[in-house]
Amino acid sequence: MSELTDLALKEDINLDECMVFTKDNGDILAVNIKYVSIKQRQDKLMGVNFSMSPKQVKQLSEFFSNVNAGELFYYDISQTGIIPVNYRGMSNVIKKRSTHAESTFEVSLLMQPAQNMPRDNYFNPSCGCCTLHHIL
């Protein structure tokens, strides 16, 4: 994960405040968690909703542009552990109505827990009360 540390230093990013996506080819994208909301659906799909600037949406779209449905990638929220997931798609970009001078756009990413990854590859929480414990 030295690439991630290098990225954090280069871009002056605090990884404790980011959701980091990593592809098998080593590409990494860090998104500040203040732009992210996550919803777990009953069909085990997770919807990751982003509300951010046009430049950030463009980076996100470019990062996932060559990812195929079902392809494996990883995410890590605030350095709590790397979780393998399968890509299921991305919604269209929508411009959010706002009274602010700066435009905000919304886009959603759908991902599904990786079925082919053994449980011992997952991060094990140290307590039964952490907010991510139920996912594992």
pLDDT in tens, 98-109: 666 677 899 999
CA distance 20 to 82: 9
CA distance 21 to 23: 7
Using only the alpha carbons of the chain, give its radius of gyration.
15
pLDDT in tens, 68-108: 999 999 999 988 889 999 999 999 888 877 666 677 899 99
